[in-house]
Structure 1
Amino acid sequence: MTANTPILSFASTDLILEIPTTVQQQVELESQSFANSISYQAYINQICVGAILPWLKEDITPQAQVWPHPAALPSFWELVNGSAVTIQTTRLILIPSENIDSSELRVPQEWVDLPSWVGDYYLAVQVEPDEGYVRVWGYCSHERLKNQGKYQASDRTYVLDEDQIIKDINVLILAPELCKNEITRSTTAELPHLTQTQAENLINRLGNPEIITPRLEVPFALWGALIEHGGWRQSLSEKRLGIPEQKSIIQWLQSGVTEIAAAIGWEKISLQSTLAQARSVEDNQPKISLSRQLAIAGQLYELVITPQNPPNTTHWRFELRHTTIGATIPGGFKLRLLTADLQPFPQNEDIATTAVEKLFIEVALEPGESIVWEIEPLPDNYDREILKF
């Protein structure tokens, strides 16, 4: 049975997808890592993604992928129901529920009002893990959800009645270009800036796993500003799960990259081959760096972090380069470093005015300081992370 084979008889416009056995087994194992209070939320979201993503890859495009990165999804599901999948420039938001009632679509406010989370289309998904299937019974655009949906302050959701929901999934499936002639996204308000102290206070307060729904404990503007920052969202999720604070970059270099960091692509690399070629002029160049591959505009690049004059280093070099030897970085690319609360500092940016071999920034950091990196254009599935030194 293929991933897109209907297995039950519902309305002819519904999309019924089998939950692959391998997905269900993996989900049941991985769901044990979430906080006990809401482990089932993570469970149904993993099943939802596990059933729908193969169908998107097979029937729409093999380029379909989850956003921002599979390793980051637990930090979303620990806090908010829903998942995002990208198809080139189009983003689908999957909203799973076990409710068999198809009279309304209820979407958490985060997916509607956080600027970097907003999708083009929102899919209503009924999940039936015991029966082995998911049912996609309707969808709507962000513009329709935002402007025609009813906002429910009690649980911070946008609710759209069934008469405003497009029930025929074939309309979405058969569209040659999902956003070609339709305004899919409405405008969203800017979020306030949080200081590092504010963020730490919120994480300490909301990191208590006895708080069942942390998203409802503080005003939405504060909550949204906190979790839209990928590094702070990850810290909050880990605190609620009782996961020890991530090791510093120095510890990564000394004892190895953590499991979470490795999952998103970080690895230790040796510069020995480079040293062998240029030992006479670069005897003091360090042998070990940290590297992460990034896909940007269809090309593969590498972000490398290298300590200067280890082991007691306070100076670090951040470098962006193409993974293909001899290939260049196009003009217009930017490499930028920010403080943990996203503030700039002197000489924190390098810009390619023309094609260049590399972009780099050297920065002095004291033990305990943190950095957030940014690149323009944005890498595929970019999610802010806090690197601690």
Structure 2
Amino acid sequence: MMSFNAASTDSKLQILHLELPPVPLTSAAFSTPGRRWSADLNQMALTAFLPWLRDQFAANPQVWLDATLPSIWEFVNGTAIAIGSLRLVLIPSAALDTDELRVPQEWVDLPSWAADYYLAVQVNPDDGWIEVWGYASHEQLKNRGVYDASDRTYSLAEDDLIHDLTVLQVALEFCPTETRRAAIAPIPTLEITQATHLIERLGNPDLAFPRLAIPFSLWGALLEHGGWRKRLYEQRQGMAESWSVVDWLQAGVSHLAEQIGWQHTTFQLATGRGMRSLPTAGLARSLTIAGVSYQLQIASVGDRSAPELTVWQFELRRSDPTATIPVGVTLRLLTEDLQPFENNEDVARNQVERLYIDVALQPREGLVWEVEPTPDGYDREVLRF
């Protein structure tokens, strides 16, 4: 149920008041009670706001990185929602005062995290409601917001926010090309040894605020790399690493990997001369690329002359076996620290049935896969072999 209530200010601006439906709070693990409470607030805000958003906007909004939200909420307050190419971030708070919007730096200064608009959400679990009481654009936060180095946040006072979401709806409809994001600098990448050291250090759950323990350039690089962020999350929960393809094939896909779609399957592998005649056990996950369903598949294709190496095949194909991959689609593999290597990609120069890459790996070596155009909800994974 949705209703508009007048804000209790002299200006009588209209803010969005939504009743809080029964919320199935996340069952994921968190390192501290504070992080779990923050995750619960995010879940409540999302559960109440998303149905209203779906009702008000023609495009179907999608929660960004929905399957791996705990690995975000463990470190940063906020939830991103995509409406086509537009991104909103909900910033929930249970505070009674609504004097400012305070946004973690990660949502503003990380290129892959930055949004077009940031919505201030007051959550009242006891009385069962939320209020979206104001919003600001990325450009406003970056150029007019106050940066607080002590907690790495950008803030805007209540008077600097727009309080009526109908204004946002009108702006999106009639000013679709309006500049909403300020320029931000790219984040440098980390070397594997450096990332491993940081994960070990920051993975100690006794460290209450890992996001403030190292310079932002290092923290941002660790967080933007989805594989390393997920490993850091696991480390803080005391979980064993759960992204080993060998383990998945032998003992079953891990719970976290299963949540994002990985599963056992049987398929035929591609070769230079066509299809293998015998089916092979492997792993697969579904992808949606430009509105079309695909399958990414992985299987071992045997050993080379060097016994310490195993050859693995990555294959991308349409979910519809009669359909072809259009020109320009690219399947790419990178090292764990995102470096290319020889013969690391396959590009559809013509319409093809499949793209595939064979790669020889040492035990415990990690790879990151990419596809262009980027699949919906894509987040980097470090698959270990």
Q: TM-score with structure 1 length normalisation?
A: 0.91
Corresponding residue of 1:13? 14
Q: Return the offset for 1:58.
A: 2.2
Corresponding residue of 1:53? 50
Corresponding residue of 1:353? 349
Q: Return the offset for 1:367.
A: 1.0
Say if 2:291 is the partner of 1:292.
Answer: no
Please give the per-residue CA displacement for 1:144-176, whole angstroms capped at 9, x wherever unaligned: 111111111111000112222111111123445
Q: TM-score with structure 2 length normalisation?
A: 0.92
Matches of 1:105 and 1:255, distance apart in 2: 47
SS of equivalent residue, structure 1 residue 208: coil
Residues 122-201 of structure 1 mapped to structure 2, 5 A cutoff: 122-175=118-171, 177=173, 180-201=176-197
Please give the per-residue CA displacement for 1:91-149, whole angstroms capped at 9, x wherever unaligned: 00111111232221110000000000000110000011111111100111101111111
| Structure 2 residue identity aligned to 1:19 | L
SS of equivalent residue, structure 1 residue 185: coil
Please give the per-residue CA displacement for 1:186-242, whole angstroms capped at 9, x wherever unaligned: 111111220001001111101111111110000000000011100000011111111
Corresponding residue of 2:78? 82
Q: Return the offset for 1:5.
A: 3.9
Corresponding residue of 2:298? 305
Q: Return the offset for 1:247.
A: 4.8
Matches of 1:178 and 1:234, distance apart in 2: 39
Q: Return the offset for 1:253.
A: 1.2
Matches of 2:340 and 2:276, distance apart in 1: 31
Kindly tell me the number of residue pairs found equivalent between the two proteins: 374
Matches of 1:323 and 1:66, distance apart in 2: 23
| Structure 1 residue identity aligned to 2:228 | W
**Compared CA separation, residues 309 and 324, structure 1 to 2 (3 A):** same
Corresponding residue of 2:41? 44
Contact 1:6 1:18 in 2 (8 A): no
SS of equivalent residue, structure 1 residue 301: strand
Matches of 1:113 and 1:9, distance apart in 2: 31
Matches of 1:101 and 1:173, distance apart in 2: 26
* Residue range with higher mean Cα deviation, 56-65 or 298-307: 56-65
**Compared CA separation, residues 335 and 179, structure 1 to 2 (3 A):** farther
Q: Return the offset for 1:12.
A: 5.3
Corresponding residue of 2:272? none
Corresponding residue of 1:251? 247
SS of equivalent residue, structure 1 residue 354: coil
| Structure 2 residue identity aligned to 1:148 | R
Q: Which residues of structure 1 form unaligned runs of 5+? A: 276-280
SS of equivalent residue, structure 1 residue 30: coil
SS of equivalent residue, structure 1 residue 49: helix
Contact 1:83 1:94 in 2 (8 A): yes
Percent of residue pairs bearing the same amino acid type? 52
SS of equivalent residue, structure 2 residue 370: strand
Contact 1:56 1:62 in 2 (8 A): no
**Compared CA separation, residues 361 and 173, structure 1 to 2 (3 A):** same
* Residue range with higher mean Cα deviation, 59-68 or 129-138: 59-68
Please give the per-residue CA displacement for 1:300-350, whole angstroms capped at 9, x wherever unaligned: 11111121138x971111011111122111111111100111011110011
SS of equivalent residue, structure 1 residue 177: helix
**Compared CA separation, residues 239 and 8, structure 1 to 2 (3 A):** farther
| Structure 2 residue identity aligned to 1:308 | V
Q: Return the offset for 1:77.
A: 0.3
Matches of 1:169 and 1:120, distance apart in 2: 14
Matches of 2:57 and 2:101, distance apart in 1: 24
Contact 1:286 1:308 in 2 (8 A): no
Say if 2:109 is the partner of 1:113.
Answer: yes
Matches of 2:352 and 2:222, distance apart in 1: 36
| Structure 2 residue identity aligned to 1:353 | R
Matches of 1:247 and 1:261, distance apart in 2: 7
* Residue range with higher mean Cα deviation, 49-58 or 359-368: 49-58
Contact 1:90 1:178 in 2 (8 A): no
Please give the per-residue CA displacement for 1:6-43, whole angstroms capped at 9, x wherever unaligned: 5897655111112211x2xx21x626x21224211111
Contact 1:230 1:385 in 2 (8 A): yes
Q: Which residues of structure 2 form unaligned runs of 5+? A: 270-274
SS of equivalent residue, structure 1 residue 197: helix
**Compared CA separation, residues 8 and 237, structure 1 to 2 (3 A):** farther
Matches of 1:325 and 1:6, distance apart in 2: 49
Contact 2:91 2:119 in 1 (8 A): yes
Contact 2:263 2:283 in 1 (8 A): yes
Q: CA RMSD in A?
A: 2.2
Matches of 1:76 and 1:135, distance apart in 2: 23
Please give the per-residue CA displacement for 1:265-316, whole angstroms capped at 9, x wherever unaligned: 1111123xx59xxxxx845x45211111111111111111121138x97111
Contact 1:7 1:17 in 2 (8 A): no
